[in-house]
């Protein structure tokens, strides 16, 4: 705290000393920036600048384009938006997608989602509603919703027109079925109820609010007259700096708790705005929203705790229709809202027997909760944390094989079956839930990453996953790029651990001078390539399926991603003939010095 205060005071002193001096010495620049600038009928001033306006008159990242001295454009996510009005009084402007302004109206189907906010903190949607634009629709849907058709050649199939609908339109669900492409377009306001001119609604655009942090001095300086003398400026600034520093020192020491509260409140408010904007764009696709009092009621004030994860506890609850649910309460001290957004954004896009269903959510200030379908048999971790336990022993080899197949099918759906590829990045026993029939369901998408189209290699700034299941390329890009093959590695480690827990191999490995578990398997295979002694094998069918799991697991944990199979190929191997499978070479990356516990989930 002392260092923070000293740093803050020093910064203020420097600013007070420099800005008056700068106003005097750089007066010519300020005069240049004060000149009236226009593009068409739009005034351009701080924080904006163009090619014809010096960059020092604006703020980094706020460059605009003036076409033929008449049309002012803003580039956002590779799309162009025409600025039709600027409201400097409240830091906002109205923009329209250029595609909606072209003659012929034939470009509306090319409009893309405007993803705000999303890492770009310059702009945020301001006082806007949302229109859903459906394209590539059947001609029957066009006939049924003629009042919603916007575009050209309206009599053709939906290649040149779109269906525009409000988010609360009762026919939205039908349109989702009848059309191939969907985007969410922000608009300024729906206006009066009744017939809506959707084309004009789109063309009128929407409002964006801009934020320039920590630079009011720059703006004020641009309008300064710059008449202070150097001596007067320095002396006055020095005296003011000493006085303000003393006041700030006293304030921070006496009100530090209040400062922490203000910082925390600002963070919570920023998270809330980010989440609310995201949910607004989801429209009817968002799961049901619960009040926090509903969460407390369904869990009986969090009476029955099912487990504890890195981001909070999980409690058993019951909906008004008597359905049992699992309620995950997110710990805001360990989450900045990304965990919540990842869960909702990922699971709301899925519908698969091997993916857990998200039934609803709660987001009230710092209180966040996710409501899932209840899995009576808990997580897979319970059945393999201790090979000697009754829970671990009750799963027969055939059941383990079906669980491995189910998880692979769920992953294959995430990687290939969704409209957007989803990489999980935290496949481990704790995140595999089992229903009453031991059908596995992948859960906990807090670390997931969404990928567009067939994107294969992704960029990732932070390390994601659980030690023991993290692929080598996530530690170091020297092993290859991060991709869907990273999930394959985690899957391979998990099914090998399933075999080890069932057969008490973990205990044997622990007593074998710190041997790496996959090395133990390779050693046994080299001694007897045709057979590994496993407990409770009842017939040849179980022996064959278990051997397939072993070989597939070894393929999945290959060091280099290019040597691993895709999850689709994993399914083919598990469902195929064991005689067609060969044992892969021993991975180069292994541990001969650390015991197995180091690589186990905690």
Long-range contacts of range 304-309, CB-CB < 8 Å, 24 or more positions apart? 306/378, 307/378, 307/379, 309/430, 309/444
pLDDT of residue 113: 61
Superfamily of domain 287-373, CATH level 4 = Phosphorylase Kinase; domain 1 (3.30.200.20)
pLDDT for 443 equals 92
Q: Dump pLDDT digits (tens) for 290-313.
A: 999 999 999 999 999 998 876 778
Residue 554's pLDDT is what?
94
Which CATH code fits 380-599?
1.10.510.10
Confidence of residue 508 (pLDDT cuts 50, 70, 90): low
Backbone angles phi, psi at 172, to 5 degrees: -60, -45
Residue ranges, comma separated, of all CATH 1.10.510.10 domains in the chain are 380-599
For strands 358-364 and 288-289, give the pairing.
Answer: parallel
Strand partners, 163: 134, 149
Residue/partner pairs of 165-174 with CB below 8 Å, 24 or more apart = 165/131, 165/132, 165/134, 166/129, 166/131, 166/132, 166/190, 166/196, 167/129, 167/130, 167/131, 167/132, 167/283, 167/284, 169/132, 171/144, 171/145, 172/132, 172/283, 172/284, 173/284, 174/141, 174/144
Within the chain, all domains assigned CATH 3.30.200.20 are found at 287-373
For the chain, give the mean pLDDT: 75
Opening angle at CA 54, ends 53 and 58, nearest 5? 90
Q: How far is Cα 373 from Cα 84, in angstroms, rounded to an integer?
A: 48
Confidence of residue 596 (pLDDT cuts 50, 70, 90): very low
| pLDDT, tens digit, 9 for 90 and up, residues 420-452 | 788 999 999 999 999 999 999 999 888 888 775
- Number of C-beta neighbours around residue 431 at 10 A: 26
Is pLDDT of 194 > 80?
no
**20 contacts 237 by C-beta, under 8 angstroms:** yes
The response to whether 382 counts as a known ligand-binding position is no
Rounding to the nearest 10 degrees, give the CA dihedral for residues 429, 435, 441, 442.
-40
Give the sign of the dihedral formed by CA 558, CA 561, CA 564, CA 566. Answer: positive
CA angle 313, 317, 318 (to 5 degrees): 165
Q: Which of 274-283, 429-438, 564-573, 592-601 has the lowest mean pLDDT?
A: 592-601
Whole-Å CA distances, 40 to 61, 71, 72, 73, 127: 22, 6, 8, 11, 26
**Between residues 285 and 508, which one has the greater pLDDT?**
285
CA-CA distance, 532 to 159, in Å (whole number)?
Answer: 59
Reading phi first (left if > 0) and then psi (alpha if -120 to 50, else beta), residue 75 is in: beta
d(C-alpha 52, C-alpha 63), whole Å: 11
The residue ranking higher by pLDDT, 522 or 425, is 425
Q: Mind telling me the catalytic residues?
A: 426
DSSP string of 357-400?
A: PEEEEEEETTEEEEEEE--TT-BGGGGTS-TTSHHHHHS-HHHH
Q: Return the pLDDT at 275.
A: 67
Nearest to 164 by CA among 105, 249, 121: 105
Contact 377, 429 (CB under 8 A): no
CB 326 within 8 A of CB 372: yes
How does pLDDT run across 374-404, given as a tens digit for each residue? 999 999 988 875 444 455 456 888 899 999 9
């Amino acid at each position: 705290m002392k260092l923070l205060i000293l740093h803050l005071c020093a910064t203020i002193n420097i600013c007070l000393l420099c800005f008056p001096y700068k106003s005097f010495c750089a007066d010519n620049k300020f005069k240049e920036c004060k000149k009236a600038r226009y593009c068409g009928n739009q005034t351009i001033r701080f924080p904006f600048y163009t090619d014809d306006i010096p960059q020092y008159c604006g703020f980094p990242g706020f460059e605009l384009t003036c076409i033929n001295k008449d049309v002012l454009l803003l580039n956002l996510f590779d799309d162009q938006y025409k600025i039709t009005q600027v409201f400097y009084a409240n830091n906002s402007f109205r923009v329209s997608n250029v595609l909606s302004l072209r003659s012929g109206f034939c470009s509306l189907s090319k409009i893309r989602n405007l993803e705000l906010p999303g890492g770009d903190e310059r702009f945020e949607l301001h006082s806007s509603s949302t229109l859903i634009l459906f394209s590539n629709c059947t001609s029957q849907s066009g006939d049924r919703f003629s009042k919603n058709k916007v575009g050209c050649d309206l009599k053709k199939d939906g290649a040149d027109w779109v269906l525009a609908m409000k988010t609360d339109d009762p026919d939205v669900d039908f349109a989702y079925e009848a059309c191939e492409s969907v985007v969410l377009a922000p608009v300024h306001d729906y206006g009066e109820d009744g017939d809506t001119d959707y084309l004009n609604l789109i063309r009128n655009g929407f409002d964006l609010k801009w934020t320039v942090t920590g630079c009011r001095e720059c703006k004020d300086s641009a309008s300064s007259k710059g008449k202070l003398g150097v001596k007067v400026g320095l002396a006055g600034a020095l005296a003011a700096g000493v006085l303000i520093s003393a006041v700030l020192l006293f304030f921070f020491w006496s009100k530090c708790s209040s400062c922490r509260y203000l910082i925390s409140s600002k963070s919570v408010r920023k998270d809330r705005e980010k989440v609310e904007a995201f949910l607004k764009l989801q429209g009817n696709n968002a799961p049901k929203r619960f009040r926090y009092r509903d969460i407390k009621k369904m869990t009986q004030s969090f009476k029955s705790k099912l487990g504890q994860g890195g981001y909070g506890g999980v409690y058993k609850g019951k909906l008004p229709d008597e359905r049992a649910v699992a309620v995950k309460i997110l710990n805001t001290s360990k989450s900045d809202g990304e965990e919540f957004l990842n869960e909702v954004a990922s699971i709301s896009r899925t519908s698969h027997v091997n993916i857990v269903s998200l039934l609803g959510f709660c987001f009230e200030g710092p209180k966040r909760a996710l409501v899932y379908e209840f899995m009576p048999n808990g997580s897979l971790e319970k059945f393999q944390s201790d090979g000697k336990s009754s829970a671990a022993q009750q799963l027969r080899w055939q059941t383990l094989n079906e669980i491995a197949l189910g998880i692979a099918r769920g992953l294959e759906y995430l990687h290939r079956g969704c409209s957007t590829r989803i990489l999980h990045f935290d496949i481990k026993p704790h995140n595999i839930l089992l229903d009453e029939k031991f059908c596995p369901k992948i859960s906990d998408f807090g670390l997931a990453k969404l990928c567009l189209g067939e994107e294969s290699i992704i960029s990732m700034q932070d390390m994601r996953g659980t030690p023991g299941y993290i692929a080598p390329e996530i530690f170091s890009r020297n092993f290859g790029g991060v991709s869907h093959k990273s999930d394959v590695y985690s899957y391979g480690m998990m099914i090998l651990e399933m075999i080890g827990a069932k057969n008490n191999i973990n205990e044997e490995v622990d007593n074998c001078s710190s041997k790496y578990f996959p090395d133990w398997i390779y050693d046994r295979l080299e001694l007897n390539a045709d057979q590994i002694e496993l407990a409770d094998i009842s017939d040849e069918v179980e022996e064959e399926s278990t051997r397939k799991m072993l070989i597939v697991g070894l393929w999945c944990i290959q060091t280099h991603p290019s040597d691993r199979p895709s999850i689709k190929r994993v399914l083919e191997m598990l469902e195929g003939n064991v005689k067609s499978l060969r044992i892969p070479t021993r991975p180069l990356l292994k541990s001969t010095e650390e015991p197995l516990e180091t690589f186990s989930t905690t």
